[in-house]
Structure 1
Amino acid sequence: MIQSFVYDKEEQRLAVRFVSGKVYTYDDVPAEVAEGFKAAASKGTYFNDVIRDRFPFARSRSRGR
């Protein structure tokens, strides 16, 4: 489900790339949430339980998809 992600601590912005190639950017994500995501054994479960539908987000344009 999750291919990769990058967290910008200063901006509190989390960019998540899914295996589909789609990239979504989540705003106002606390550092503790990003650290929990990084440490989670199942990134998909953590994402669904803690991040999805809980923070403002936008789909980023990805090239080639």
Structure 2
Amino acid sequence: MPRFNSTAIARAEYNPQTAVLQIWFVESDGPYDYFGVPRHIYDGLCNARSKGRYYNDHIRDQYGNR
């Protein structure tokens, strides 16, 4: 499970069998689950220079969450 050096996102985990992305935010308890997320979105988050910006542009309001 990657941990990030980010002011917004502490870590993320992805299950390719269920397409569930779990995100732990720096300033809140977690995880938050995002459903139906393609693998390339998770890979993009891991490789993004700004995790928070990538989250806002590609994940937030794009996938169902809990």
Report the TM-score range of the alignment, normalised by the length of the smaller protein.
0.7 to 0.9
Greater C-alpha Rg: 1
Out of 5, 12, 22, the residue aligned to residue 29 of structure 2 is 22
Partner of 1:63: none
Divergent runs of 4+, >3 A: none
Secondary structure at 1:3 match in 2: strand
Please state how far the C-alpha of 1:21 moved relative to its aligned partner: 3.1
Give % identity: 34
Partner of 2:59: 51
Please state how far the C-alpha of 1:20 moved relative to its aligned partner: 1.5
| Larger RCO of the pair (alpha carbons < 8 Å, separation 6+) | 1
Partner of 1:2: 9
Aligned length in residues: 58
More displaced, 15-24 or 41-50? Answer: 15-24
Show structure 1 runs of 5+ residues with no match: 59-65
Looking at structure 2, the residues matched to 50 and 41 of structure 1 have their Cα atoms a distance apart, in angstroms, of 14
CA RMSD of aligned residues (A): 0.8
Show structure 2 runs of 5+ residues with no match: 1-7
